[in-house]
Structure 1
C-alpha cells in the first residue's frame, strides 16, 4: 500500500463543452442512483500516455456528448436535471506525477486517498447536486515507467455499460483524432426509454410482485441492519482463465449441446452451495432487444430475479440462469431480500471486452477505491458475489455471504487448485 505525497499534483483542470447549452431531465430510474458513489477503474500501462493528446480526446468527447460536462441541478419542487453551460462547466482532468515512486505488481493496483482529499471528489453521486462539481473526472497517474488512466463518473448519468463504452471511446479518440467525428452520435440520450420499459414490465406483475418491487429496497436496508454481523465472511481470490474454463467444463450438463452456455452461467452455479429460493443478477438491458439502444447513455442495467426449482431441491442450475437471461421474468430496481434465501451475482467481464489501449496494451485494470483503508465489506450484509477482469488471464472473484456458505465455496476453490484465498470475518 502506498503512502506518499505525489511530486506534482496539479489542480483540477476543466475541459469544457465549447459550444452547446442544453438541459437533460434524468429518468426516474436514473434518480435512484444517488446513493452510489462515483465509480470507475484504474487502467495501468507500460507505455507513455501523452497528457496533451488525452486532453484533446476528452475535448472531442465532451463536445460530442455535452452532458458529460454538465452539472446536477435540482430546484425546489422540480425534477433532477443536468445543465450544460458552455465555457463554464466541464469534465475534470487531473494529472499526477508520481515522481520516483516505485510501482510494482504488489502496489500497482492501489488507488490513493489523496485523490479524494486533494481534489474534493464527492463520495456519493448525490453530493454533486446543486454543486459546481464535475460529473466526470479523468485522472492520469504516471512515473517514468507506468501510466494509469482512470475515469470516475457520477452514477446518475451512467452505469457499467455506459462506463466501459465511454472508456473505449476515449481510448479510440486518443489514438485517432477523427474517431469522434466519424462515429457520432457516440451515445443515444433519451432517458424516457428506460422509464417506459420499466413501466411496461411493472404492469405485467401480479399485485404481490408490485408490492415486492416497490418495497424491496426498504426491506433490503432494514434486513441488513438486523443481520448478525458475526455470521458473515468475505472471500477474495484470483481465478485464472484456465480455472474458469475448468468450472465451465465441470458444470456443463445440457441436453442440447447447441444451447447458449456462458462461463458466467457456470460460475453462478459453482457459487451456489446451499438451497436458495431466488437468484438475482445484474442485466445490461441494452443488449436484450427491449427497445433500449446499445449506445444508450444513462442507467440501463437492472436486477433480474427468478426462482429456483423445488425439484432441484432449490439448488441453482446454470440452465435456470440461462433461461432467466433470455426471458427476463422479473425486473427490480433493487435487490429483494425478504426471506434471506437468495444469491446475487454481478459480472463486469463482458463489459470489459471494450479494452482501452490508449496507443498500446492494457496490463492491469482494477476497480478504483478512494481510500487506503480497506472498506468493511461486512458492515452491510448482502449475500452477493462479483467478478471482473484484472488482466487477460486473471479475474478477481469476491463473495460475501454467511460463514458456512463462504467456507463451502472456499473448499470448492481449493479442491479445484486455487491456493491463495483471502478470507475476512467480522
Structure 2
C-alpha cells in the first residue's frame, strides 16, 4: 500500500498529526447564535459594497454584500435585523468592513429544494457559482467563478480536488468526504461540466482511508455521464495539500516558478468547495455556513462543527463548554499556516477551516537564535528555495534584495520554521521580505 502512495519529490516535513482528537467526531450542527458579524471581505480581492442599512430586515441567504471587480458576494447567514454596518476585527487583527445581524428567534430555517442541473449550460452554472459567493474554502479564498474561467489560450484538461487536509489537527474536510461523498462527487461533475473537461483526480492522504473508501464507493455507484473521476491516495507528508505539490503528486506535472496551475492544464479546487458548488447549483444555496474543526487540548469539548458565517469565536467557546486553565494560544486555521488571535470576538469566515485552542504542551515558546547554517530549512522547502538566506538578508536590513532567493515563490507553508533547530521565525522573515521587495 505504501509503495503505491503518491507524493511530491522535493522537501516536505512530518509534523505530529494530532488528528485523533476530532477525526472520529461526526459533523455537529451548532445552534444559531443570537448575533452574527459578517465580514464583507472574506475572499481574495476587493471588499463587498454593503447592500443593507441599519434596521433593515434580512432573510437567511439574502445578498447583503456585492463585489465590484475581483471578489465574491456575501450573504446573510441568519434571519433577523441589521444592527450595524461598520467594521469588525479580522483574523489578522485588522479592521474589515462588516454587517452585524441580530437573529429573529421566531424565524424558521430556510428550506432548499434540489433541482436538476444537467440541462444548464456551463455559463449558467458559472453564474450560479458566482451568485452563491463560492470561494476556495481551503486557502486564500480565491473566487471560484474566476478560477473556473481560465484564459482562452489555457489548455485545461484536468480537475484536481484537494482532499489532502495535510495540516495537523484539522479534520473538517475528512468528515465532509466521509459524511457527504455524494455531494462532493456531484460537485466534481458540475465543475467538470463548467470546464468542459472529462478527467478529475481527488487527492486524499492515506490517513483518511475511510474517506477514500466512501468516495470510491460513491463513484462506483453514481452515473458519471462520460467523465472519469478517480481517488488518488497520497502519502502523509506536509504540505501535500499545497496546490503545486498536489498537482505534482496526482498528475506528475510541475507548475513552473511564477506559474499557475492552468499553465500545466490543471484547475484545483478544495473538496469543501466542491460541496459548496453542489449547494449553490443544486440547492440554490449560497455559501453562508461551513464545517470547521474545533480542536486542541485547551478546549473543553473538541468538535467538527457546522457553523454560520459570522459566528464569533466567543459563541463557539461557550457552546463547547469553555476553555481549560492551561490554554496558551488560540489559532485560526492550522498550526502551520494559521494565525494566532488575541480576541474571542473575531467572526468565522468562509476561509476558516478550524480554530485551535492550544496548551503550553502543544506549542513551542523557546526564543530563537542565530542561523547555524545546518541547511535543514533548504532540504525541507518544497519549492527548493533558500529560507536561511532570506532570513539573514532580512536581519541585515536587506529584505528588498531577497527576490533572487525565490521569496515570491514561497507560499508560507512553514516547513522551514518547523525543522529549524534555532527556532528562527523564517515565515515571518519571508513575509517581511515580500513587503519590502514589493515596495
TM-score, scaled relative to structure 1: 0.25
Q: Which has the higher contact order (CA 8 A, sep 6+)?
A: 1
Q: What TM-score do the two structures reach when normalised by structure 2?
A: 0.25
